[in-house]
């Protein structure tokens, strides 16, 4: 029992130590109080980065979750041939490191030698500039969606499989068709799982880092060092040497994420009660 307590307290203590350190850091060399945070709030670069990931979140997450939901329902409907192959195939990108995923898509997007560019050249169409300013956010969204639709789909699909069979039987006896069953039985049953995937997506999209960081060498003009909030914190600490400020920025970012997550939870819970 004591052992379990210890085992459990170890990570907690680790987190507590971290949080102490963060305070000590801000008051470290010279005590500046909350000055770093004031600076952060006024920082146009940070605001721009946060806004950009917020835009990303609003566009990408609903799209990804809707797709995941549609795929999960299609798989669960039992109407598919090769369902197993399709399910695993869609999931496979999750096992691909985001580094590799971004490298792959980076080449595919390429305006000179990417297959899309080659194809449209052959067909005499204008070459799509996936890596230009206007397209970049969409291209990033495509990469992230590609990576995580399968993961979310599997969570939803797993939740669907646990719906008790009697419910379907009852619905069928009441004359409900496939669509009606999906709407009245499957969707309500999916609510907790959907909430879980939504929460993970909030967390994931606000700390967007790998994909823009890795596309930076390919499109240096579009992705600056403050393209996303997290990228900004990183470049502050490691190229700007502004360690204290960087810690404040990442803490601030964490705060934004926690607030967003609780907002999502709150809205979801209120819907449930009303």
Instruction: Kindly state the tokens that stand for 11.
Output: 């990570």
Stretch that binds other proteins, among 37-45, 55-63, 124-132, 228-236 (CB under 8 A): 228-236
Q: Which residues between 49 and 68 bind other proteins (CB under 8 A)?
A: none
Instruction: Kindly state the tokens that stand for 26.
Output: 């801000």
Nearest approach in angstroms of CB 114 to other proteins is: 6
Which SS3 state, helix, strand or coil, does residue 227 take?
Answer: coil
Q: Which residues between 5 and 24 bind other proteins (CB under 8 A)?
A: 5, 7-8, 10-12, 14-15, 17-18, 21-22
Q: How many Å apart are CA 230 and CA 257, to the nearest integer? A: 12
- For residue 226, which of 47, 103, 99, 60 has the smallest C-alpha distance? 47
Q: Which residues between 139 and 168 bind other proteins (CB under 8 A)?
A: 146, 149-150, 154-156, 158-159, 161-162, 165, 168
Nearest approach in angstroms of CB 33 to other proteins is: 18
Specify the residue, 62 or 89, whose C-beta has the smaller distance to other proteins.
89
Select the residue interacting with other proteins from 36, 60, 230, 235 (CB under 8 A).
230
Select the residue interacting with other proteins from 125, 138, 169, 179 (CB under 8 A).
169
Nearest approach in angstroms of CB 126 to other proteins is: 18
Residue 198: count of CB within 10 angstroms of its CB: 19
Select the residue interacting with other proteins from 39, 77, 225, 242 (CB under 8 A).
77
Taking the chain, what is the end-to-end CA distance rounded to the nearest angstrom?
Answer: 42
Compute CA distances 92 → 89, 118, 171, 263, whole Å: 5, 27, 34, 32
240 contributes a contact to other proteins by CB under 8 A? no
30 contributes a contact to other proteins by CB under 8 A? no
- For residue 140, which of 239, 243, 64, 34 has the smallest C-alpha distance? 64
Are residues 248 and 37 in contact, defined by beta-carbon separation less than 8 angstroms? yes
203 contributes a contact to other proteins by CB under 8 A? yes
36 contributes a contact to other proteins by CB under 8 A? no
Nearest approach in angstroms of CB 39 to other proteins is: 16
Please give the helix or strand (H or E) that residue 143 lies within, else none: helix 133-161
């Amino acid at each position: 029992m004591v052992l379990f307590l210890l085992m459990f307290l170890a990570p907690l203590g680790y987190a507590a130590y971290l949080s102490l350190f963060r305070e000590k850091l801000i008051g470290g060399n010279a005590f500046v109080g909350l000055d770093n945070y004031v600076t952060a709030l006024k920082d146009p670069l940070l605001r721009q980065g946060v806004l950009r990931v917020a835009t990303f979140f609003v566009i990408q997450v609903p799209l990804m979750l809707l797709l995941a939901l549609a795929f999960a329902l299609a798989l669960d409907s039992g109407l598919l041939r090769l369902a197993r192959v399709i399910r695993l195939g869609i999931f496979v990108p999750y096992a691909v490191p985001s580094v590799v995923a971004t490298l792959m898509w980076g080449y595919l997007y390429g305006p000179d030698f990417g297959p899309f560019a080659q194809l449209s050249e052959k067909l005499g169409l204008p070459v799509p500039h996936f890596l230009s300013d206007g397209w970049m956010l969409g291209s990033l969204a495509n990469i992230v969606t590609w990576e995580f639709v399968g993961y979310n789909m599997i969570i939803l699909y797993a939740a669907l499989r646990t719906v008790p069979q009697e419910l379907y039987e009852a619905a069928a006896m009441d004359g409900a068709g496939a669509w009606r069953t999906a709407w009245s039985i499957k969707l309500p049953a999916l609510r907790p799982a959907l909430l879980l995937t939504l929460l993970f997506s909030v967390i994931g999209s606000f700390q967007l880092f790998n994909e823009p960081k890795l596309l930076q060498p390919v499109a240096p003009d579009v992705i600056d060092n403050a393209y996303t909030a997290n990228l900004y914190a990183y470049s502050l600490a490691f190229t700007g040497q502004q360690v204290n400020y960087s810690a404040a920025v990442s803490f601030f970012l964490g705060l934004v994420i926690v607030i967003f997550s609780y907002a999502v939870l709150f809205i979801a819970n209120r819907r449930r009660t009303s």
